[in-house]
Amino acid sequence: DETKPVKLDLDEFRRYGRQMIMTEVGLDGQLQLKRSKVLLIGAGGLGCPAAAYLAGAGIGTIGIIDHDIVEPSNLHRQIMHTVDRVGQPKVISIIESLKQINPYPKYIAHNYPLSPENAIETLEKYDLVLDCTDSPQTRYMISDACVLLGKPLVSASALRSDGQLVVLNDPPGEGPCYRCVFPRPPPAESVLSCGEGGVLGPVVGAMGVLMSTEALKVLLARADRKKRRKPAHLPATADEIKDADSKEEGTVEPRKFYMTIYAAFSDTPFKTIRMFGKRKTCQACSPVATITKESMKNGSLDYIAFCGGQASGRYPPL
Amino acid sequence: DETKPVKLDLDEFRRYGRQMIMTEVGLDGQLQLKRSKVLLIGAGGLGCPAAAYLAGAGIGTIGIIDHDIVEPSNLHRQIMHTVDRVGQPKVISIIESLKQINPYPKYIAHNYPLSPENAIETLEKYDLVLDCTDSPQTRYMISDACVLLGKPLVSASALRSDGQLVVLNDPPGEGPCYRCVFPRPPPAESVLSCGEGGVLGPVVGAMGVLMSTEALKVLLARADRKKRRKPAHLPATADEIKDADSKEEGTVEPRKFYMTIYAAFSDTPFKTIRMFGKRKTCQACSPVATITKESMKNGSLDYIAFCGGQASGRYPPL
Amino acid sequence: MATDSIAINVELAGGLEILFNNERKLNVELPATTANGSPPNINYLVGHLCDHHMKDSRRELFELQGTVRPGILVLINDADWELEGEGEYELKPKDQILFVSTLHGG
Amino acid sequence: MATDSIAINVELAGGLEILFNNERKLNVELPATTANGSPPNINYLVGHLCDHHMKDSRRELFELQGTVRPGILVLINDADWELEGEGEYELKPKDQILFVSTLHGG
Ligand SMILES: [Zn+2]
Ligand SMILES: [Zn+2]
């Protein structure tokens, strides 16, 4: 349904006008956003701001998966939840707020825990996935599912005053996956959640907002590709180099992959670091990969055990 | 009233627990935030996220000044306003949303335009100011008022896919002011507003969230100074060097001043750049300064003319 | 003649890239010595960029009176050019020069 | 004996600074040649940091089997150490080495 005709009504023109006049968006880009289906995994500190700005930008379909309920300790950083909605499912609460910002998108609530068994069918309806979760095992699982389904993945994390952001499997098959970047999981005892380590609200907030920007960049590049023009903001991919007329002078560099890291209390808080890229021996995304949709669905991949926790048939432990 | 006793009730402990367990915050830091009064100038693309996270963090008093009303074209990026509140004053709308996030802070609405005549009396009740406005003339005016009143100023801006962030007059008298950084205004024809140039929602959103982090850092450093300990995240100030026992080995470097710049569509989007610092000939903050509270209040400073616009007795032009 | 030129990296931000055909990063070759016998400095670079790289006719949005216009920050290896001698700073190979237009939107 | 040592800059992020008394930036002096006659490499640096700079007894949160533990990214002048030879990379004066613990919170 990439070719399904979509159009904008007058109210949408008014609403999106300030971003549509940008060369990187335009009418084509706005229609591409409306045509797009984005899944946010997690409606917490990262998911709240990411969802708010994706809704604001006019993404056509926004799915959110989370099985938590709103708690008072969430409210300092999870800005789409409210005092009145403490005790409600987070997916219900966040969609309530998003509709007040923008009633146009179709919002889909997935009020259940993501598991290896349901990951493939949950993710396959979407074009792009945002990992807004908080444990190593879900991060490996989500990345594996995105690789198997050919979906780009925007992944971020935050703890205390630090944050990290990376776009994975983008374009699918070319960019590194989570396993390429982190082939071995950290020892379980070195992993802290926000509940244990604490987190400053705007630190996780900033990472969530930056996730939404990266998501828009991935989706807008598709509009450019459809028009067979080089995205304003990207070096050409291998295919585009083949396709392109050789009119432009100069050589095209291969794409480099970066991670953004943030340390809020440093006097030089942001760094962009260059990543190694795709790994020839990756278990998920290389020619010698062993992970399949079947091994995922039938529960033979134990992410908890892989990450050094107690072996378990499913995630999260009940 | 820096010494006014404040305390936290059980619900506040629950609400702020995730940030209070951070060493940079703690109980002292949380009480300092509750004791603090912060003014946001502008309830738009920068002010909305900045206010959301400052409210979430538990700032005791949050003032907001803006005289605009909510419009449909605001909603893609001004995430504290809602469809239902189109047509309402922005200060009323934003406070409504902030109360739903956190009912504890005292919210003060200033529903009028900031002008040289009212700037001093509007700002003087606050400890810290956030410049979330959108024109060069207000930026100079706000900086001048902050210098005259000895208030630190967190200043950010965004346009299209770019953003900039700087903390000014911090600590008051030591850090550079807006005029130190930009002694001469840009030619009027080179200045674009978000309405003219467009802006991507999460770009201005990210800058607003980062403003709230910088605001928290400024306020938390005060809690540290009160305890006469070196803030975890800051090099010592001149006074602190004098005060400090000379137990620590090594020399203390003079503080450096930085600006953060963001270019969302670059593959290396963030840069931290080192600023020149305080200017010996600054019209606002140097020993040879000519700007006074009186010249500001009596309207003899014409910010519009200074910025190359049509001369005018007041800002904004009516 | 490679030793007769120096290569520097120029970056454009804050909207200035629009004047340069939306290129954010430029590899710029400058002569090792200019007409007056000295190495090229920042002011020379500004003129060179206008003459050889700018794709927009509105030169005054970048240059004014032989240097950058007000409202553009110049960073020499990530430090404000005023820490380095401003327009008189003499360029060295591999220098990173960043021009940023100041923004006022919000 | 200044020529017998090399000075590098080490930065710690992602919570690793907690193991180093909350210092995020360290100026580290290393011998120009180590016991086996070769210049110090990243693995040598890891041991040196544990022995001389770490203020926490939980060495295993930083080092494992002579190199950094899994879950720590090592950046050599802002590029992943795998682009540079990993633990075997030989340090040069003024190198910027960044250790970042990966985060999982959200
Ligand atoms: Zn992989
Ligand atoms: Zn000044």
Q: What is the pLDDT of residue A314?
A: 36
Nearest C-alpha neighbor of D74 from the set D51, D41, D28, D52: D41
Specify the length of chain B in residues: 318
Is residue D49 helix, strand or coil?
helix
Nearest by CB to residue B18, choosing from A102, A198, A272, is A198
Q: Is D75 on the interface with A (CB under 8 A)?
A: yes
The CATH number assigned to the domain with range B10-231+255-306 reads: 3.40.50.720
Q: Per-residue confidence at D4, pLDDT binned at 50, 70, 90?
A: confident
- CB–CB of B269/A167 below 8 Å? no
- Statement: residue C51 has pLDDT above 70: yes
Q: How far is CA B309 from CA B188, B283, B291, C16, C77, in A?
A: 6, 20, 20, 22, 34
Q: For residue B1, count CB atoms less than 10 angstroms from its CB and return exposed for 0-12, middle for 13-18, buried for 19 or more.
A: exposed
Q: Which residue has the tokens 């016991």?
A: D35
Q: Per-residue confidence at A126, pLDDT binned at 50, 70, 90?
A: very high
- CB–CB of A176/A279 below 8 Å? yes
Residues contacting D86, CB < 8 A, separation 6+: D42, D67, D74
Any domain includes C106: no
Nearest by CB to residue B79, choosing from A101, A258, A270, is A101
Q: What is the 3-state secondary structure (H, E, C) of B169-230?
A: CCCCCCCCCHHHHCCCCCCHHHCCCHHHHCECHHHHHHHHHHHHHHHHHHHHHHHHHHCCCC
Pairing of strands A153-159, A128-131: parallel
- CB–CB of A297/A116 below 8 Å? yes
Which is higher by pLDDT, A240 or B258? B258
- CB–CB of A40/A51 below 8 Å? yes
Q: How far is CA A292 from CA A129, A154, A170, C93, in A?
A: 19, 21, 19, 50
Residues contacting B31, CB < 8 A, separation 6+: B6, B7, B8, B223
How far is the alpha carbon of B22 from chain C, nearest alpha carbon, in Å?
31
Pairwise CA distance, residues B273 & B206, whole Å: 18
Q: What is the pLDDT of residue A3?
A: 62
Pairwise CA distance, residues C85 & B123, whole Å: 37
Q: For residue A183, count CB atoms less than 10 angstroms from its CB and return exposed for 0-12, middle for 13-18, buried for 19 or more.
A: middle
Q: How far is CA D46 from CA A129, D7, D59, D98, in A?
A: 36, 15, 10, 11
The full set of domain ranges for chain A reads 10-233+255-306
Are B198 and A18 a contacting pair at CB < 8 A? yes
φ, ψ at B290 (rounded to 5°): -110, -10
Task: Report the domain count for chain D.
Answer: 1
Residue spans of alpha helices (H) in A171-267: 178-181, 194-197, 201-226, 238-243
Is residue B3 helix, strand or coil?
coil
How far is the alpha carbon of A175 from chain B, nearest alpha carbon, in Å?
14
Instruction: Supply the mean pLDDT for chain A.
Output: 88
Percent of the residues in chain D that have a pLDDT greater than 90, as a whole number: 71
φ, ψ at B217 (rounded to 5°): -60, -45
Q: How far is CA B255 from CA A192, A263, B276, B281, in A?
A: 33, 18, 12, 20
Which residues fall inside 5 Å of ion ligand 2, going by CB? B 177, 179-180, 282, 284-285
Q: What is the crossing angle of helices A47-57 and A201-226, to 10°?
A: 40
Q: What is the pLDDT of residue B232?
A: 53
Calculate ∠ Cα B194-B200-B202, nearest 5°. 120
Is residue B242 helix, strand or coil?
helix
Q: What is the pLDDT of residue A255?
A: 82
Contacts of A185 in chain D (CB under 8 A): 70-71
- The residues in A 2-21 lying below 8 A from B, measured between CB atoms, are 11, 14-21
- Statement: residue A251 has pLDDT above 60: no
Are A16 and B256 a contacting pair at CB < 8 A? no
Instruction: Supply the mean pLDDT for chain D.
Output: 91
Structure tokens at C49: 């960029």
Span A141-198, pLDDT tens digits: 999 999 999 999 999 999 999 999 999 999 999 999 999 999 888 887 777 766 678 9
Contacts of A154 in chain D (CB under 8 A): none
Q: What is the pLDDT of residue B313?
A: 39
Cβ atoms < 10 Å from Cβ of C76? 22
Structure tokens at C35: 């007409």
Nearest C-alpha neighbor of B131 from the set B46, B258, B57: B46
- Statement: residue D98 has pLDDT above 60: yes
Alpha-carbon torsion angle A249, A255, A256, A257, nearest 10: 150
Contacts of C14 in chain B (CB under 8 A): 159, 162, 164, 261, 263
Are B212 and A202 a contacting pair at CB < 8 A? yes
Over its length of 318 residues, how does chain B's per-residue pLDDT go in tens digits?
556 688 999 999 999 999 999 989 999 999 999 999 999 999 999 999 999 999 999 999 999 999 999 999 999 999 999 999 999 999 999 999 999 999 999 999 999 999 999 999 999 999 999 999 998 999 999 999 999 999 999 999 999 999 999 999 999 999 999 999 998 888 877 777 666 789 999 999 999 999 999 999 999 998 877 765 655 555 545 454 454 444 444 455 678 899 999 999 998 999 999 998 999 999 999 999 999 999 999 888 889 888 887 544 333 332
User: In b/e form, how buried is each residue of D21-33, taking b as 16+ CB within 10 angstroms?
Assistant: eeebbbebebeee
CATH number of the domain at C72, please. 3.10.20.30
Which is higher by pLDDT, B303 or A245? B303
Q: Is B48 on the interface with A (CB under 8 A)?
A: no
Residues contacting A258, CB < 8 A, separation 6+: A166, A272, A273, A274, A275, B267, B268
Cross-strand partners of A167:
A154
Pairwise CA distance, residues C41 & C38, whole Å: 8
Whether A and D touch, i.e. at least 3 CB pairs below 8 A, reads as: yes
Are D71 and A187 a contacting pair at CB < 8 A? yes
Range of the domain at D57: 2-101
Span D51-60, pLDDT tens digits: 999 988 889 8
What CATH architecture applies to the domain A10-233+255-306? 3-Layer(aba) Sandwich (3.40)
Q: Is B31 on the interface with C (CB under 8 A)?
A: no
Any domain includes D87: yes
**What is the predicted ipTM?**
0.92
Any domain includes D106: no
* Element holding A109 (H helix, E strand): strand A106-110
